[in-house]
Amino acid sequence: MTVVSAPATVSIQPIAAVAATPLADLLLGSRRSGSILGASAGATWLEVDDRVLVLSGQRGARLPNSVITATRFRPEASTAVPTPAAVIIGEGGIECTGQHIRVSRWWHPCPELPPTRPSQIRDLAQACAQLVPVLDDAGIGEALARRSLSELLRAGEGLLGKGPGLTPEGDDIIVGALASYRLLGRATGLAANGFLARVERSLVPTACRRTTRLSASLIGHALHGEVADALGRLLRAFTGRAELIPAVRALSALGHSSGPAMAFGAVRGAWAVSGRGT
């Protein structure tokens, strides 16, 4: 970590932003330097202290590591900046590509799900399965159902980095399955914290070696039940607290292939929680 002294004055008009609460320690802590991992016309990916943040405009997806700004933020400015390029994060904001972002509001990416019967989750997951593509989960659903760490790590080996993009399809399946198992398991009273802690200690370091840093970061968040807003909506639908079809459509619209893969993974995790397995 490199701590950076605050400037005497800041002349740039700050841009207001809303941020995910898991980033609070970074954004509210002391000023430190980071770097730009990459950028597109819609978002900029930042890294600080081996953690990844996604900086985007108002139309950006609410990810568990997102900072979403007002429309004045120009993410396209980052595309002209060679990487790695320095940014400053801390004391309530981000300085990046000549823009000063100040976090004024927060959102919590861990949806609160009500107590739910496994049979209800099973029935709604079955309905969801008819609406999403059938993909190869490499056995992750069965591994979760059996709480087998060795099987889950083998499934991870088969999925990590599978497919193109910043979040490959295989990684998105993992995210959906782990988040579903964590959050729906909590809703049904499933005691899985110890098992998931062992998964985190083994799977996340492997993910850091096998796939993109953004994907590895999202897998870590999923293990803590921290998810994209659209995935949280689908999991609420599995407990009867949201309409299923609109939730599936909203998640399916996320990214190029990320949403459908996450939805498929969420079904696998839900079946593991409800005792259905395959």
* Averaged pLDDT, groups of 10, the chain, 278 residues long: 51 84 97 90 89 92 94 53 74 90 96 96 97 97 97 97 93 98 96 95 96 96 97 98 97 93 98 78
Report the predicted TM-score, pTM, of the whole model to 2 decimal places: 0.91
CB neighbour list of residue 42: distance below 8 Å, 6 or more residues apart: 56, 57, 59, 60, 75
One-letter amino acid of 222 = A
Strands (DSSP E) found in 61-203: 66-69, 86-90, 93-96, 99-107
* Other Cβ atoms closer than 10 A to 169: 25
Q: Which residue do the tokens 């709480």 mark?
A: 147
Measured at the CA of 166, the angle between CA 39 and CA 96, to 5 degrees, comes to: 25
Instruction: Judge if the upstream peptide bond of residue 84 is cis by omega within 30 degrees of 0.
Output: yes
Helix axes 149-159, 193-210, angle to 10 degrees: 30
Note the pLDDT of residue 83.
Answer: 52
What lies within 8 Å, CB to CB, of 153 at 6+ separation is 202, 203, 206
Residue 213 in tokens: 């840093």
User: For residue 72, what pLDDT is reported?
Assistant: 53
Assess contact for 128 and 263: CB atoms under 8 A: yes
- Tell whether the torsion through CA atoms of 5, 64, 140 and 115 is positive or negative: positive
Residue 75: what pLDDT? 52
Q: Specify the pLDDT at position 48.
A: 94
First-to-last C-alpha distance (Å) of the chain: 45
pLDDT in the model for residue 86: 79
Give the bridge partners for 55, in sequence order. 44, 67
C-alpha to C-alpha distances, 223 to 64, 69, 115, 156, 220, nearest whole angstrom: 12, 26, 20, 13, 5
Which class for 193: exposed (0-12), middle (13-18), buried (19 or more C-beta within 10 A)?
A: exposed
Backbone angles phi, psi at 142, to 5 degrees: -65, -40
Structure tokens at 209: 């070696």
pLDDT given for residue 164 in this prediction: 87
Helices (H), 149-256: 149-159, 169-188, 193-210, 213-223, 229-238, 244-252
Q: What share of the chain is helix, strand, coil (3-state, %, to 5)?
A: 45, 20, 35
